[in-house]
Structure 1
Amino acid sequence: MKILRQSGSRKYIILFIMLCSFLILWPNHSKSIAASTLQKVYDNASLLTDEERQDLEKMCDTYGDSNNTDIIIITEDSIGNQTTKLYLEKFYDQNIKKASAYDGNCALLLITMDESNRGFQIQGYGDNPNSTQYYLDGERIDHIISKVKPLLSNGKYYDAMKQYINMVDDYVGMKYQHIYNQLWFQLLVSLGIGTIAVSIMIFNSGGKVTVNSGTYLDQNHSKILDQRDDYIRTTITRTEKPKNNDNGGDSSGTSPGGSSHSGGGSSF
């Protein structure tokens, strides 16, 4: 009777472990947590028509919600003496950080039309390893810049903003294409954990092993017979120092409010 009870308990333990494993992995499969209510397009420089602004606002909402990311666009006639990098950092701290529905995940684009400081800046925010900052790293931001800059230079502001939104969607959306976010993979991992648990129980159900590496060793007569230490070669490698790119270089950093971000920008 006691043996039957132990067997039944083991079955329940196995089922419990498998269920917990599945529940832990399951949330990663869900894309959207809650829709953002933040304004997405701030056209303070009046570069867009009302129709274009509304269209971009809708795109930011749609793509942002599908990727748990606030996608923001800001245009300004002037930002004074501050840099585009600092302007976006302050904007994030004051308008996004506490109001975000996506744990601070955000992609920001600033376009400033000031003749003495005409340019644009892109930044990605998020504090966890699966964040917008991670998927919108410096190299990818540089790629976005290379596509957006020619459009801005030709006065195609609406097209440039659409290009930015689409590329953010492409890059940030990659986190939902990873194998560990696929349902079949999550089920397979859960099954694997359950199998391991069963194997451990079966292994522990046998007799205890009492033989080890020292059981038949004669400590008084056993010794090392020979020892060698031969020098082979020394290898030296050199890495070329990275060159500054044409897009204004990496402007990642930390905002005054303590939020880390990726970033990059250029004049146009």
Structure 2
Amino acid sequence: MKKIKSILSFLLIFSVIFVITPPNLAGAAESSSIAAEKQLIFDEAGLLTQAQADRLNTMANAYGAERNTDIIIYTTLNEEDIDAMILTEDFYDEHAPGYDRPHGNAVILTLDMNNTEVYIAGFYKGLDYLNDRRLDQIRTKISPDLSYGNYELAFEDYILTVYEFMEHRPGVLFNIWFQLAVSLGIGALVVGVMAYRSGGRITVNRQTYEDANASGILDRQDRYLRTTVTKRKIERNNNNGGPGGGGGGGISKGGHSHSGSRGSF
């Protein structure tokens, strides 16, 4: 009887410990997850509230993990008036971001509030998937919101568009559509030939009813009217990569190549 009571007491204590433990483990896992989240939003210009920065940081971590690339936002008052591209390169060299390793896959949006200029650069996988043309498209898309001070919305669009563009390398979607168009064209040609042959041969033509001896050209007349020359001025396109800016990458002081797009907002 005493043994049974001892066993029951042990089981009761074990059950209480088992019930209490899971919440603690869950809390520990949650804390570990929060600790593992990288800082990807560097709002030195103070354009975002803490809640906005936290939300964008979580978003950048989640979408960046899908593309194995750090998606970074860096805002600065740039009181020393340093060029936006150099600001971005120095940030990459000094902070050593990269999803896979230090100085690894990354894309950085730098917002220079002193000169109201934005610069976006892609490093390593960011360079491979986000060439100058794609970065021009991203910059052009978010610039209106930057101009109106809708910084949170602009940064959100930046993260989402980077995520979408990095699903395929440049040119891959074109090749897919081109191959599909060629396949459809060949299919249409084959069907057309089959339909033509299934209708039988046509044996009646214009010669069936034409009298070659009585047919011919009756008269020919050339009449010159006038010559007209039109002059049109060809405008030079000095706008590179969209309104207020253009594309252009480079190499950082640390020797890291990158794509790039810059422009005012």
Fold shared per TM-score above 0.5: yes
Preserved contact between residue 79 and residue 87 of structure 1 (Cα < 8 Å)? no
Q: Percent identity?
A: 35
From 109, 133, 139, the equivalent of 1:145 is 139
User: Aligned AA for 2:126?
Assistant: T
Aligned: 1:265 with 2:259 = no
Instruction: Using the TM superposition, give the Cα deviation of residue 37 of structure 1 relative to its aligned residue in structure 2, in angstroms.
Output: 5.3
CA offsets 1:194-232 (integer angstroms, 9 cap, x no match):
xxxxxxxxxxxxxxxxxxxxxxxxxxxxxxxxxxxxxxx
Preserved contact between residue 43 and residue 75 of structure 1 (Cα < 8 Å)? yes
Structure number, greater radius of gyration: 2
Instruction: Using the TM superposition, give the Cα deviation of residue 174 of structure 1 relative to its aligned residue in structure 2, in angstroms.
Output: 2.0
Q: Residue 142 of structure 2: SS of its match in structure 1?
A: helix
Q: Which has the higher contact order (CA 8 A, sep 6+)?
A: 1
Instruction: Using the TM superposition, give the Cα deviation of residue 103 of structure 1 relative to its aligned residue in structure 2, in angstroms.
Output: 6.4
Q: Residue 54 of structure 2: SS of its match in structure 1?
A: helix
Preserved contact between residue 112 and residue 120 of structure 1 (Cα < 8 Å)? yes
From 162, 170, 193, the equivalent of 1:168 is 162
User: Aligned AA for 2:155?
Assistant: M
CA offsets 1:80-106 (integer angstroms, 9 cap, x no match):
231000000010011125885376110
Instruction: Using the TM superposition, give the Cα deviation of residue 125 of structure 1 relative to its aligned residue in structure 2, in angstroms.
Output: 0.3
Name the counterpart of 2:182. Answer: none
- In 2, the alpha carbon distance for the partners of 1:118 and 1:79 equals 12
User: Aligned AA for 2:261?
Assistant: G
From 247, 251, 255, the equivalent of 1:254 is 251
- In 1, the alpha carbon distance for the partners of 2:64 and 2:98 equals 17
Instruction: Using the TM superposition, give the Cα deviation of residue 242 of structure 1 relative to its aligned residue in structure 2, in angstroms.
Output: 7.2
From 236, 240, 244, the equivalent of 2:239 is 244
User: Aligned AA for 2:56?
Assistant: L
Preserved contact between residue 105 and residue 123 of structure 2 (Cα < 8 Å)? yes
Q: TM-score, normalised by structure 2?
A: 0.57
- In 2, the alpha carbon distance for the partners of 1:96 and 1:174 equals 25
Preserved contact between residue 118 and residue 267 of structure 1 (Cα < 8 Å)? yes
Structure 2 residue runs of 5 or longer lacking an equivalent are: 1-34, 174-235
Instruction: Using the TM superposition, give the Cα deviation of residue 247 of structure 1 relative to its aligned residue in structure 2, in angstroms.
Output: 3.9
Aligned: 1:134 with 2:134 = no
CA offsets 1:36-64 (integer angstroms, 9 cap, x no match):
75410011111111111111000110011
Q: Per the alignment, do residues 137 and 99 of structure 1 end up closer, same or farther by CA in structure 2, a change over 3 Å counting?
A: closer
Preserved contact between residue 119 and residue 266 of structure 1 (Cα < 8 Å)? yes
Instruction: Using the TM superposition, give the Cα deviation of residue 166 of structure 1 relative to its aligned residue in structure 2, in angstroms.
Output: 0.4
- In 2, the alpha carbon distance for the partners of 1:142 and 1:54 equals 27
Q: TM-score, normalised by structure 1?
A: 0.57
- In 2, the alpha carbon distance for the partners of 1:94 and 1:173 equals 28
Which structure 2 residues correspond to residues 210-249 of structure 1 after superposition, within 5 A?
243-245=238-240, 246-249=243-246
Instruction: Using the TM superposition, give the Cα deviation of residue 77 of structure 1 relative to its aligned residue in structure 2, in angstroms.
Output: 1.6
Preserved contact between residue 36 and residue 101 of structure 1 (Cα < 8 Å)? no
